[in-house]
Amino acid sequence: MACSSHEPASAQTKVPASSRKMLFAVLFVLSAANLTACLIAYISRVWIYDGDGFGIPVDFVSFWAAGRLVLDGLPAQAFDWDIHRQIEIAALGQDFAGTFPWHYPPPFLFVASLMALLPYGAAYLGWVVVSLVPYVAVVRAIVGHNLGVLLALAVPIVFFNALVGQTGFLTAALIGGTLYLIPVRPGLAGICLGLLTYKPQFGLLFPIVLMAAGHWRVFISATVTTIAMLLISTLAFGTASWLAFFYWLSHSSNVILVDGRFSWWKLMSLYSLVRHFGGTEQLAWALQLILVVSTTLVLVLMWRSRVPYGLKAAALSAGTLLVTPYIAIYDMLILTISIAFLFRVGLRSGFRSYELPALAGTLVLVLTFLTSTPTGLGATLIVSILILARAGSWWRREPAPQSATAGV
């Protein structure tokens, strides 16, 4: 993936050594803060186990419980909210308020079953570490500099994701891996994209954009991977697991997106923002649809233009967050992929005067989530505007030659 900013001379101000040192220092402090927060949370018994030695009820328990049901030969029952909850109570050693249902399609039961081979605490910590490694590696590869390691660890969502043991690291790694590999290893890029089907809401834009830009090898590889995962999971877990998945999917959709029982502020989409502030379901869906159509149109035009590949990749990563109504705070790690591509360009051609302050603003918005406010959409929009501002001088409607896709 060659790097070329291809911007006017006025923008070709490389980052001075002093500024790089300052950027390194800021990212180092934020990374250290995240890692220290995890350590303090564990020592103070607010992470994994509480002061009485019982498991703390968080999202990860749903993964371990689903895996336990698979190992017991009952994979379809992982989707049954009542049965699944009983396994969760047994895993934690205590009852709890609320529910942590299993929403993932059957292929992800392979991962869950591996978790359940270990004791609950070891599986929890192991999952966080094992999923963190590819995420950090992908961000480092995209940035093309060791600052990428610090960038990956600096975003506050790293702590949020680790605290609840969610899938944010894996999702960001697969999206980042797909986008990084498209110009250089299209077959591997398609495999990454096919594996992303464990969270299908984040793959909606990829087929459209890939077809529009003529990346057929990636498209075919992703399709083959998806079909293979479907067949293998059916052989392993039976058709009953797929029937249970689709049966309970409608129930989950009603609970989360219609009734809002999990709280609207916990979702970072335009749909949830409208509902959070009292808008009707019809208005929320209408505005979300407008955003989906406009985002798709912009991305298709951008990927068919002569805009440098890095900006196309950054835009597609941000676009995946804009088009889905169901996105939690830990899924916002996907935005780090967009920022990583912006960092790649900025470190080589110079950051524009407003870019780093704007990115600092996204940090503030993400932290505002702690006040029970769905501010994630604002962070995504800020990054999207930065990408479009970079792409503005390159905007062309004519298709780019194939060789142009290698530029960043």
| pLDDT tens-digit map of 163-209 | 999 999 999 999 999 999 999 999 999 999 999 999 999 999 999 99
**What was the pLDDT predicted at 395?**
64
| Six-digit token string for 144 | 């093309």
3-state helix/strand/coil string of the chain: CCCCCCCCHHHCCCCCHHHHHHHHHHHHHHHHHHHHHHHHHHHCCCECECCCCCECCCCHHHHHHHHHHHHCCCHHHHHCHHHHHHHHHHHHCCCCCCCCCCCCCHHHHHHHHHHCCCCHHHHHHHHHHHHHHHHHHHHHHHHCCCHHHHHHHHCCHHHHHHHHCCCHHHHHHHHHHHHHHCCCCHHHHHHHHHHHHHCHHHCCHHHHHHHHHCCHHHHHHHHHHHHHHHHHHHHHHCHHHHHHHHHHHHHHHHHHHHCCCCCHHHECCHHHHHHHCCCCHHHHHHHHHHHHHHHHHHHHHHHCCCCCHHHHHHHHHHHHHHHCCCCEHHHHHHHHHHHHHHHHHHHHHCCCCCHHHHHHHHHHHHHHHHHCCCCHHHHHHHHHHHHHHHHHHHCCCCCCCHHHHHCC
Identify whether the C-beta of residue 255 lies closer than 8 Å to the C-beta of residue 266.
no
Identify whether the C-beta of residue 138 lies closer than 8 Å to the C-beta of residue 176.
yes
pLDDT > 50? residue 90: yes
**What was the pLDDT predicted at 369?**
85
Torsion angle of alpha carbons 20, 25, 31, 32, nearest 10°?
160
Please name the amino acid found at residue 135.
Y
For the chain, the domains span 9-406
At 253, is the pLDDT very low, low, confident or very high (cuts 50, 70, 90)? confident
In Å, how far are 171, 223, 296, 343 from 217, measured between CA atoms? 22, 10, 21, 28
C-alpha to C-alpha distance for 164 and 185, rounded to whole angstroms: 33
pLDDT > 90? residue 5: no
Longest dimension (CA), the chain: 64
User: 9-13, 62-66, 186-190, 377-381: lowest mean pLDDT where?
Assistant: 9-13
**Nearest CA among 201, 168, 196, 163 for reference residue 334:** 168
In Å, how far are 5, 182, 186, 188, 358 from 193, measured between CA atoms? 26, 10, 10, 9, 30
**What was the pLDDT predicted at 393?**
72
**What was the pLDDT predicted at 14?**
67
**What was the pLDDT predicted at 85?**
95
| Six-digit token string for 322 | 């804009």
Identify whether the C-beta of residue 103 lies closer than 8 Å to the C-beta of residue 137.
no
pLDDT > 90? residue 3: no
The mean of the pLDDT values for the chain is: 90
Structure pTM? 0.91
Give residues with Cβ within 8 angstroms of 308, minimum separation 6: 4, 5, 6, 345, 394, 407, 408
Packed helices 81-92 and 60-71: angle between N→C axes, nearest 10 degrees: 100
pLDDT > 90? residue 335: yes
CB neighbour class for 119 (10 Å; exposed up to 12, middle 13-18, buried from 19) = exposed
| pLDDT tens-digit map of 47-68 | 999 999 999 999 999 999 999 9
User: 102-111, 188-197, 389-398: lowest mean pLDDT where?
Assistant: 389-398
In Å, how far are 55, 57, 103, 344 from 95, measured between CA atoms? 10, 9, 21, 47
C-alpha to C-alpha distance for 6 and 145, rounded to whole angstroms: 20
